[in-house]
Structure formats: C-alpha cells, structure tokens
Amino acid sequence: MRAVVWHGIGDIRLDDVPEPAIQDPEDAIVRITRSAICGTDLHFVRGTMAPMEEGTILGHEAVGVVTEIGDAVRGFSPGDRVLINSTVSCGACRYCRMGKTAQCDRANTNGPQAGTAFFGGPASTGPIDGLQAEYARVPWARNTMHPLPDNVSDEQAILLSDIFPTGWFGAELAGVTRGDVVVVFGAGIVGQFAAASAYKQGAGRVIVVDGDETRLAAALAQHCEVVDYNAEDPVEAIMSLTDGIGADCVIDAVGVDAERPKRGPAAVDAEQAAAFDDEVATVAPDASADGFGDAHQWKPGDGPSQVSQWAVAAVAKYGRIGIIGVYGPTAERYPIGAAMLKNLTIRMGNCDHHSVTPPLIDMVAAGQFDPTALITEHEPIGSAIDAYEAFDRREPGWVKVELEPSTR
Ligand SMILES: NC(=O)c1ccc[n+]([C@@H]2O[C@H](COP(=O)([O-])OP(=O)(O)OC[C@H]3O[C@@H](n4cnc5c(N)ncnc54)[C@H](O)[C@@H]3O)[C@@H](O)[C@H]2O)c1
Ligand SMILES: [Zn+2]
Ligand SMILES: [Zn+2]
C-alpha cells in the first residue's frame, strides 16, 4: 500500500509499504478513506520536534472503515465507519477514566511517563505508524476510535480527528467564559478552530494574530478581529483594543515553529534576533536553519519563543493562557518571571481527544457547525509530497490539506 514515510529531516517520501496486520488483541485495522496533513507533521520534517525513527509512517488524522478487529475489541465490527482520534488511549487506566486520555498510562509503549501516544510521531511516542496511508493499525481500538453517524460525511469528519477537538481544548485550557476577550495567536487551521470554539464557549470578542494575509482573511470571515504582526505591534494593538487592560484569555495555536516579524513596528532588533538565532540552534539542533533547496523548504520557525513572549505581554493581570501549539523537549525558554509578576494561569498540552470529541461530533451532525469551509485543498495521496511542500511554504490559501488515499 502507499504511505507517506519519514526518512529524515527534509526527507519524506511516498513509499510502497506492507499493509498493517493485527499485532495485539486490542488492535483494529482500518481502511482509510480520508486523511490530512497537520502543522504538527511539519515540525517532524523541519526537525523542530523530538527525534523520529526512520521508516515511520506520518499522519495522525483520519476517517475510515474497520476491516478487521482483534479478539479483545468490543463495541466495533468490521464495516463500521469510524473517526480515528489522533491520540491513542486505553480506556482503563486512571487517566483515561478522568477523561485525561492524552496522558494514558498504557498507550505509550515507552512507559507511563513517556508522554502522549499518537499516530505518526517521534520515537518517544512509541512510535506508532501513522494514518497518511491506505490502511492503518489502530492500537487500543475500542478507545481510539469513535463511531460516525451516517449524516456526518468523511469531509466533515476529518477535522474532528484532531483539529476541532484541539481548538475546543485550547479554549478550555485558556478558561474561556462568557464575555471574555480572547486572543488567538496563529491563524492556521488550529487557530481557526480555537477562535470558533472560543466564540461557542461564550467569548465576547476574539482577536486573531498572524502574519499571513490569507489566513487572517479566513479569521475575518469568522468575524474575528485580526492583527497582522508584520504591520502592527500585536501587543500594542491588543492593549489599545482592550482599553489598556489586555486579553482575558490567550490561546497559543502556533508552537515551536513561531516566526519573528519580518517588517513593521514589531520587527526585532539585533539583540533579540541573536537571541532567537541561539534558540533555534538549541530547539532544532539537526535542522537546516536556511531550509533545503532554492525554495528554502522545511525551514524551522525563526522565533521559537516569540508567541510565548507576546502571550504573556498581551494578557491581562490574572489572565489565562492555554498552549496548544506544540513545543518539544528542547524548547526551554519561557518568560516565567513576567508571567509570575502578572499572577497568570498557564495551562497546556495535547488534546484529550477521546473525551473532548463526542459532543463535537453531535454539533456537526446537528448542523450547528460545518467544519468543511476551512478545508482548502483536496489532494490524492499520489500528490502527498507536493502537497506537504506547498503547505510547508504556506502557499497563499493553503490552510488545510485533506488527503484521499483511495484516489491516485
Ligand atoms: N496540542 C495538540 O493536541 C495539537 C493538535 C494539533 C496541532 N497542534 C499544534 O498546533 C499548532 C498549529 O497547527 P496548524 O496545523 O494550525 O499549523 P500551521 O503551521 O498551519 O499554522 C501555524 C500558524 O502560525 C502562524 N505563525 C507563525 N509565527 C507566528 C507568530 N509569531 N504569531 C502569530 N502567528 C504565527 C503561521 O503563519 C501559521 O498561520 C502546531 O504547533 C501544531 O503542532 C497541537
Ligand atoms: Zn493534527
Ligand atoms: Zn489509559
């Protein structure tokens, strides 16, 4: 079968690989009908996350049809249409029982302290082969899949695999309550869903910050107030929009590949530029700072802690920050002193997909929210590598790429 395989930093390929088989009685095999490329996948190819194991199939977002189940899987049968959660969880340990499934004690084969187990991730997550493939093995299938109602299409369901629950979780981490002024850093697909979720959770206003015009236009289409960090200083803009108080809640939907402003009043001075260069070298020691080839493909973000600094500066005293943008273990700089001085609450982590997602499936099934408007590209798996490259370059309009494994 065909699958997108990680071979090295800056080196991913569409390979022919063996079809997966049941390895454990808790497994299921799923024929993938829709997959997608996520900003998280870019961190692995750019080298800004923990080391990957060569040969790992990438991807952690998918919808499909169960073809086979292990002897211990109850509640699903071959032929069921399912949503696959990005994160894998057992359903029996104490964390799963609290709904904190991203910290499942049993799903990560490296042990209970090894962190979230998810598809297509670094060696430290298992690794578990990913979902940008024609078929996938789903460990702990009972808890890692959700049944899909007939009136939710594959196209609607694909963003329920990771993005919508993550955006929702980000708004929860930031403690959004009625009337809050919420700032979302990052207008990628995760930021878009964090903004939509903040409104649904009661935000009075949502301000979205990015430097990419087409992504800001998508946020404006959701009636967010938008700030281009290459045109305005985002902290000053947020202060002036909030009568000098700052935001009640901030959601970081960017993560470790954050960019520094390239022009405008927030463009960094020589001292800050040198500090960021230093940070990039620590965060991504094996990455190519200038990228690969003439297109400077797979270039790590050049301001890893930029969003952390802005978030702390732009939030009100006693404000709340939710971090869903991913930072790996090498990201060690955070403005902790400035945060302490403002009595901030900062929460973060990978989404607890299994417990967050069910009401969101209902919301989509009931027609209260249509996630498909934000999927901008539909590509056959045969074009997956070109699609990855265009998404990495942030080609205008490329907000979210859906992959169709069954089309060539
Ligand atoms: N916590 C979770 O469970 C979880 C799940 C999915 C994705 N994520 C993470 O969410 C983040 C976003 O994912 P995505 O798919 O939207 O990625 P993406 O790369 O498409 O979007 C990132 C956006 O951030 C913008 N950006 C860069 N520097 C910025 C800055 N200084 N200020 C404001 N915006 C800036 C970029 O222009 C881009 O629009 C990634 O880090 C991804 O790994 C986390
Ligand atoms: Zn994802
Ligand atoms: Zn568990």
Per-position DSSP letters for 62-93, written without gaps between them = EEEEEEEE-TT--S--TT-EEEEPSB---SSS
Mention every residue, 6+ apart, whose C-beta is less than 8 A from residue 11.
45
| pLDDT of amino acid 275 | 96
pLDDT in tens, 287-331: 998 899 988 999 999 999 999 999 999 999 999 999 999 999 999
pLDDT exceeds cutoff 80 at 408: no
Best residue among 37, 40, 353 to mutate for probing ligand 1's pocket (most ligand atoms within 8 Å of CB) is 40
Q: Is the pLDDT of residue 406 over 90?
A: no
Same-domain pairing of 174 and 309:
yes
**pLDDT value for 190:** 98
- Do 21 and 133 fall within a single domain? yes
3-class DSSP state of 147? strand
Same domain, 180 and 295: yes
Residue whose C-alpha is closest to residue 342's, from 307, 314, 365? 314
Q: Does residue 146 surpass a pLDDT of 60?
A: yes
- With a cut of 70, say whether residue 407 has pLDDT above it: no
Is residue 310 a contact partner of residue 243, using CB atoms and an 8 Å limit? no
Q: Report whether residue 121 contacts ligand 1, using a CB cutoff of 6 Å.
A: no
The response to whether residue 324 sits with its C-beta less than 6 Å from ligand 1 reads yes
What residues are neighbours of ligand 2 (ion), with CB under 5 Å?
38, 40, 162
- Round to whole Å and give the CA distance between 350 and 105: 14
375 Cβ inside 6 Å of ligand 1: no
Q: Give the Å distance between the CA of 239 and the centre of ligand 2.
A: 32
pLDDT in the model for residue 131:
98
| DSSP run (H or E) holding 7 | strand 2-8
- Whether residues 191 and 138 share a domain: the answer is no
Whole-number mean pLDDT of the chain?
A: 96
Residue 62's pLDDT is what? 98
227 lines ligand 1 (CB under 6 A): no
Q: Is the pLDDT of residue 181 over 90?
A: yes
CA of 99 to the centre of ligand 3 (A): 9
The domain that holds 299 is classified in CATH as 3.40.50.720
Q: Is the pTM of this model over 0.95?
A: yes
Ligand nearest to the CA of 307: 1
Q: Domain residues for 394?
A: 2-162+351-404
Q: Provide the CATH number for the domain around residue 108.
A: 3.90.180.10
Question: Of 322, 348, 374, which residue is a domain's last?
Answer: 348
User: Does 216 share its domain with 281?
Assistant: yes
Q: How many domains, in total, are found in the chain?
A: 2
Both 307 and 185 in a single domain? yes
Percent above pLDDT 90 for the chain: 95
Of the ligands numbered here, which is closest to the C-alpha atom of 352?
Answer: 1
Q: How far apart are CA 86 and CA 102, in angstroms?
A: 10
| Residue range 332-345, pLDDT digits in tens | 999 999 999 999 99
CA distance 343 to 115: 28
- For residue 92, the ligand closest to its alpha carbon is 3
Choose one of 116, 161, 210, 393 to mutate for the ligand 1 pocket test, by most ligand atoms within 8 angstroms of C-beta.
210
The predicted model gives 244-267 an average pLDDT of 97
